Amino acid sequence: MPPVTLDQLPVGAQGAILHVEGEDPLAVRLMEMGLIDGTPVKVLGAAPFGDPREYLVRGFRLSLRATEARRVSIQPT
Amino acid sequence: MSAPVAAPPIAPPLTVALLGNPNTGKSTLFTGLSGVQTRIGNYAGCTVEKKVGRLSIQGRSVRLVDLPGTYSLAPRSPDEMLAVDVLLGRVADVGRPDVIVCIVDAANLERNLFLFTQLRELRIPIVLCLNMWDAVARHGQEINLAELSSRLGVQVVTTTAHHRVGLEELRGAILQAAGQPPADAPAILPEPVRAEADELARWLDGQGTATEGFLATRALLDVEGEAEQRLIHGGPRETAERLKGARTRLAEAGLRLAAVESISRYAWIRQQLDGVVRESAVPPRATTDRIDAVVTHWASGLLIFLAVMFLVFQAVYTAAQPLMSAVEGAQEAAAGVISSALAPGMLRSLLVDGIVAGVGSVLVFIPQIGLLFLFIALLEDCGYMARAAYLIDRLMLRLGLSGRSFLPLMSSFACAIPGIMATRAIENRRDRLTTMLVAPLMSCSARLPVYTMLIGAFVPAIALAGGWIPLQGLTLFAMYSLGAVVAVPIAWLLKKTVFRGPTPPFVMELPEYKWPSPWIVAQRVISQVRRFVEEAGTLIFFTTVLVWAAGYFPGDRSAVHDLDVRIERLEEESGEDDETLASLKEERNAMSAALTESSYLGRAGRAVEPVFTPLGWDWRIGVAVISSFPAREVVVASLGTIFSLGGDTEADDPSLASALQSATWPDGRPLFTLPVALSVMVFFALCAQCGATLMVIRRESGSWTWPVVTFVYMTALAWLAAWGTYALSSRLLG
């Protein structure tokens, strides 16, 4: 399967992080929280209106807006 | 008689810093360790809460410093830099910590240890506290503690702070760690990064700017971070160039600066945890998953959200009323006691209308603050608060705010004061200030008496749309919605101008659900109330006394006091209101109105009359509005005084309505027409005539700038809207 960005991964799907784009505080924050190369992610659900969404990563639930999730490229599994 | 014993040498008090990720139970642990012996304040010049607890471990006194929950020690704002400064001993009144207690969620060691690896590099003895230990056992997870301790090179203690389990062991470990030199930090960052950081620190030393290795590393890694800013502004001139050179060399060596720290630390953590943690057979998140299936579902989730918010609002709006009436009752009783003990005069007026009213104006907010924070603490502690922010984020984003702003704004419909205090949950400073600045626009309960009085007196009791829509109700609804409607463009405008900047990320952890701890909830409510009384309370009190003085001085009130003496004597003797009594009261009220006119307040009203003329007001309305600065609802009593009814007039007093209806301009035209009443109401809907709100903004923002900005923009807005309302409705109705 071709890589996608995290916001495009459907609810319930899983994947592995390829990389987080950018050098700004948001990118660094995501990486500090453990979103680094190879980390598995699962989409748990979406808020009303489809945004933000909830992800399972390294055993905790993380809420991200689509604009933020777009920074993370994913290899769906 | 025993022989004198040489006093043991008194050991200096220990300073212990408590750090951890959010949602690790850090506040619970802090409260468990230090109990009620806590002082909460702010660090000078920033919004960071300074929480210092005192405890004694085996006779040794300990200062426990609670630092804000964080995922990383890479400061990107002055507020985040503060934690680093405390740890480096750069905050004068705290002192360099002797021990760090790093609290982690035992069920999620991997992510939590990231912060731990950074703390290790500070060269301060660390105790690693594995909190929520009961969950590990419950889920059948296994952690080899001895092995973990030896691999990490620190003491490891397990606690269940919620049930106060393991605290004694933790206390012992703190004392033990305090006596030991810190173990050398393992070399986690790649060699080229460490070499560049060492080189930078050496160079800075040579330039006479002694810099801790920790700060040099941060300056190198955090592009445009606080450590870099500080070195560039406070260090040698070539610093920026040096940093650039070092970063270029690292990039040439194939290291991606933004990712190198996370990758190397997580790799190291993986290695240490390998074979130490055995994952559970039962998925540890099953319970939360089941709850979330309903609570964050788009339909049932929204319904639950609305129900919870309705409940919170009702509690602050309705359930607080009896308590507030009790405070007012107590205030009246105190005033009654003073009045019966003292003859009418300045002292009595100062005590009753200045001091007692001032104390009352502080205490009256306590029920609302207490109730709101009771709910906030419950929702926060059980894990729902993050869900609420998650559910409503999309809507709030349209205003340029985040989901975290919803609850403070909603609470402000009851009262802006607890609402503004609740903005502390908003992580981003610009979002927090925007929320604080628009919160007072929400129509609070103190505006209601003004609306009901003016609507009852001037809006015709007719119905529109074939009898379906009563005009009075419609007017009330319009006044109630006005502030919220105006807040939308104001928030948008603030975010586009004063608080312009990139949309702050909404990277938020949704914690596991748990039962809230009554102990923690009670602690939080008490500390919020105490803080309000101690800090904002004094300012509110003095505002009330000041406005009292402005309305009392100068002018000779002895004639009024003489009349008061006669009235009170007559009332005691006959108990009936006969004609003499009525005429005496009338005389007294007229005299009092004349004195108010000649007071500083009255003079101010006269002086600013031209400002209010375009709104259709005369000086008397102006004075009533100015004197309501301590609290909006005071305007009713002020109108009573000015229109010769005495100062204890109530909003639903029919004599006030008729006095206003019969008030005229000097040329005999009626003063209050429907356009004037509407313009007064619109002014009150939007103005900042609430000293208490401004004092709380001062307290929460840590600066006088924001209350001044709030007052100026709201008053200007109120004036413009009142002017427009008057001009438009005069044309339509006249």
Q: Do B255 and B246 touch, CB atoms closer than 8 A?
A: no
Residue B577's pLDDT is what? Answer: 59
Give A-chain residues touching B511 at CB under 8 angstroms.
61
B691 pLDDT band, cuts 50/70/90, is confident
The share of chain A scoring above pLDDT 90, in percent, equals 83
Q: State mean pLDDT over B701-713.
A: 92
Q: How far apart are CA B536 and CA B699, in angstroms?
A: 6
Could you tell me if A11 lies within 8 Å of chain B, comparing CB atoms? no
Q: Do B204 and B216 touch, CB atoms closer than 8 A?
A: yes
Query: Would the CB atoms of A34 and B114 count as touching at under 8 Å?
Result: yes
Burial class (CB in 10 A: 0-12, 13-18, 19+), B651: buried
Burial class (CB in 10 A: 0-12, 13-18, 19+), B669: exposed
Number of A:B CB contacts under 8 A? Answer: 114
Q: Where are the alpha helices (DSSP H) in B429-468?
A: 429-438, 448-458
Q: State mean pLDDT over B261-269.
A: 96
Query: Would the CB atoms of A68 and B258 count as touching at under 8 Å?
Result: no
Q: How far apart are CA B360 and CA B371, in angstroms?
A: 18
| Chain A residue with the nearest C-alpha to that of B297 | A47
Where exactly are the structural domains of chain B?
A: 14-178, 191-254
Query: Would the CB atoms of A68 and B506 count as touching at under 8 Å?
Result: yes
Task: Please name the residues between 30 and 89 in chain B that touch chain A, using a CB distance below 8 Å.
Answer: 71-72, 74, 76
Q: Please check the confidence at residue B266 and state whether its pLDDT lies above 60.
A: yes
Homologous superfamily (CATH) for B14-178? P-loop containing nucleotide triphosphate hydrolases (3.40.50.300)
Could you tell me if A4 lies within 8 Å of chain B, comparing CB atoms? no
Q: Please check the confidence at residue B1 and state whether its pLDDT lies above 50.
A: no
CA dihedral B697, B701, B702, B704 (to 10 degrees): -60
| Chain B residue with the nearest C-alpha to that of A49 | B394
Q: How far apart are CA B225 and CA B243, in angstroms?
A: 12
Ordered DSSP codes for B113-167: HHHHHHHHTT---EEEEEE-HHHHHHTT-EE-HHHHHHHHTSEEEE-BGGGTBSH
Phi-psi category of B280—alpha, beta or left, where left has phi over 0 and alpha has psi -120 to 50?
A: beta
B262 pLDDT band, cuts 50/70/90, is very high
Give B-chain residues touching A34 at CB under 8 angstroms.
110-111, 114, 262, 266
**How far off is chain B from A51, nearest CA to CA, in Å?**
6
**How far off is chain B from A73, nearest CA to CA, in Å?**
15
Segment B156-181, tens digit of pLDDT: 999 998 888 999 999 999 999 998 88
Q: How far apart are CA B119 and CA B129, in angstroms?
A: 13
Burial class (CB in 10 A: 0-12, 13-18, 19+), B92: exposed
Could you tell me if B394 lies within 8 Å of chain A, comparing CB atoms? yes
For residue B464, the one-letter residue type is: L
**How far off is chain B from A72, nearest CA to CA, in Å?**
13
Output the CA angle B499-B503-B509, nearest 5 degrees: 120
In this prediction the ipTM stands at 0.96
Q: State mean pLDDT over B487-508.
A: 87
Could you tell me if B257 lies within 8 Å of chain A, comparing CB atoms? yes
Average pLDDT, chain A: 93
Could you tell me if A7 lies within 8 Å of chain B, comparing CB atoms? no
* Dihedral sign computed on CA atoms, order B596, B599, B604, B607: positive
Least confident range from B230-234, B292-296, B377-381, B591-595: namely: B591-595
Could you tell me if A58 lies within 8 Å of chain B, comparing CB atoms? yes
Give A-chain residues touching B510 at CB under 8 angstroms.
54, 61-63
Residue B304's pLDDT is what? Answer: 95
Q: Please check the confidence at residue A23 and state whether its pLDDT lies above 60.
A: yes
Among B678, B684, B675, B674, smallest CA distance to B717 is for: B684
Residue B72's pLDDT is what? Answer: 92
Give B-chain residues touching A42 at CB under 8 angstroms.
none
Give A-chain residues touching B303 at CB under 8 angstroms.
none
DSSP A73: E
Query: Secondary structure of B410-437 in the HEC alphabet?
Result: HHCCCCHHHHHHHHHHCCCHHHHHHHHH
Average pLDDT, chain B: 85
Query: Would the CB atoms of B298 and A48 count as touching at under 8 Å?
Result: yes
Could you tell me if B113 lies within 8 Å of chain A, comparing CB atoms? no
Identify from B118, B296, B300, B396 which residue to disrupt to test chain A contact, counting A C-beta atoms within 10 A and taking the largest count: B296
pTM for the predicted model, two decimal places:
0.83
Q: Please check the confidence at residue B493 and state whether its pLDDT lies above 50.
A: yes
Q: How many CB atoms lie within 10 A of CB B491?
A: 24
Could you tell me if A48 lies within 8 Å of chain B, comparing CB atoms? yes
Q: Please check the confidence at residue B457 and state whether its pLDDT lies above 70.
A: yes
Give B-chain residues touching A54 at CB under 8 angstroms.
292, 296, 390, 510
Residue B4's pLDDT is what? Answer: 56
CA–CA distances in Å: residue B558 to residues B359, B642, B645: 26, 19, 19
Q: Do B117 and B91 touch, CB atoms closer than 8 A?
A: no
Segment B175-210, tens digit of pLDDT: 999 988 887 888 999 999 999 999 999 999 888 888
| Chain A residue with the nearest C-alpha to that of B21 | A33
B282 pLDDT band, cuts 50/70/90, is low
Q: How far apart are CA B411 and CA B415, in angstroms?
A: 6
| Chain A residue with the nearest C-alpha to that of B72 | A32
Could you tell me if B303 lies within 8 Å of chain A, comparing CB atoms? no
Give B-chain residues touching A46 at CB under 8 angstroms.
298
**How far off is chain A from B490, nearest CA to CA, in Å?**
24
Residue B9's pLDDT is what? Answer: 61
Residue B518's pLDDT is what? Answer: 86
Strand order of the β-sheet with B508-510 is: A4-5, A72-76, A14-20, A40-46, A53-57, A60-64, B508-510
Could you tell me if A67 lies within 8 Å of chain B, comparing CB atoms? yes
Give A-chain residues touching B395 at CB under 8 angstroms.
49
Q: Please check the confidence at residue B591 and state whether its pLDDT lies above 80.
A: no
Query: Would the CB atoms of B506 and A63 count as touching at under 8 Å?
Result: yes
- What CATH number corresponds to the domain at position A14? 2.30.30.90
Select the residue of A36, A54, A68 nearest B510 (Cβ to Cβ): A54
Among B458, B370, B391, B512, smallest CA distance to B681 is for: B458
| Chain B residue with the nearest C-alpha to that of A37 | B263
Q: State mean pLDDT over B16-45.
A: 82
| Chain B residue with the nearest C-alpha to that of A31 | B262
Q: Do B688 and B440 touch, CB atoms closer than 8 A?
A: yes
| Chain A residue with the nearest C-alpha to that of B107 | A59
Select the residue of B114, B391, B507 nearest A30 (Cβ to Cβ): B507
Residue B501's pLDDT is what? Answer: 83
Give A-chain residues touching B505 at CB under 8 angstroms.
25-26, 29, 65, 68
Q: Which domain, by its residues, includes A20?
A: 4-76
Q: How far apart are CA B17 and CA B134, in angstroms?
A: 24
Query: Would the CB atoms of B223 and A64 count as touching at under 8 Å?
Result: no
Least confident range from A12-21, B37-46, B135-144, B417-426: namely: B37-46
Q: Do B543 and B597 touch, CB atoms closer than 8 A?
A: no
**How far off is chain B from A36, nearest CA to CA, in Å?**
7
Could you tell me if A46 lies within 8 Å of chain B, comparing CB atoms? yes
Select the residue of B76, B107, B111 nearest A34 (Cβ to Cβ): B111
Could you tell me if B110 lies within 8 Å of chain A, comparing CB atoms? yes
Residue B507's pLDDT is what? Answer: 86
- State how many domains chain A has: 1
Identify from B114, B264, B266 which residue to disrupt to test chain A contact, counting A C-beta atoms within 10 A and taking the largest count: B266
